Homo-oligomer: A and B are copies of this chain.
């Protein structure tokens, strides 16, 4: 555990377009701030999705009857709802102006993570990367440092979104402190921390969401000993999910 951690936005990143070599753009950004062993790069999902060509023209989408019905119920665009359903395994909650689903990747999230803000192409929607852990691994291999791909999620009982990790490579998504002594030598009993999620939330403080968005943040000063695990390890599955 570190006594000091810093988060610095990579300066000078251009708008990312479909087909861009994102690793090369990030490498250039890293060169401008300088990176060292132990640094971690947090990257916003949006630029990963854009580079991977995950922007879909809504006019090209044909809504199914189920999508039309859910669009009616929620007041959302039927084409957008079709995309949401096609990205999901089930609808968890639907209300006017709100659709919470279980994404195919296991994430329980609004709108299957599909974004219309900051997409840049009017009439388009941006899907999550097909395999964010694989995207993180590919970026990590090219850049030579651990990578966390972040998105903003709402929470069940708390207002406001926070950054979470949807792709992780090169560091443990969770830190399991069970069995270690506490300050008084008593064994810590329930202490698995969502390490990559805390990194993503911290990066959110620098990334922003509006016109000043900064989609890549260098995180310096983290320390860990556990082996790397992907973001998929953060998903509660089956009987562990008490809030289906």
Contacts and interface: CB of A to CB of B under 8 A. Distances in A.
Interface in A207-238: 207-214, 222, 233-236
A108 interface: yes
Nearest to A241: B157
B198 A205 contact: yes
Contacts of A89: none
Interface in A169-199: 173-175, 177, 180-184, 186, 188-195, 197-199
B194 A160 contact: yes
The 4 closest A-B pairs by CB, nearest first: A160-B194, A202-B202, A201-B201, A1-B208
Interface of A: 1-9, 11, 15, 93, 95, 100, 107-108, 110, 116-120, 122, 152, 155-164, 173-175, 177, 180-184, 186, 188-195, 197-199, 201-202, 204-214, 222, 233-236, 240-243
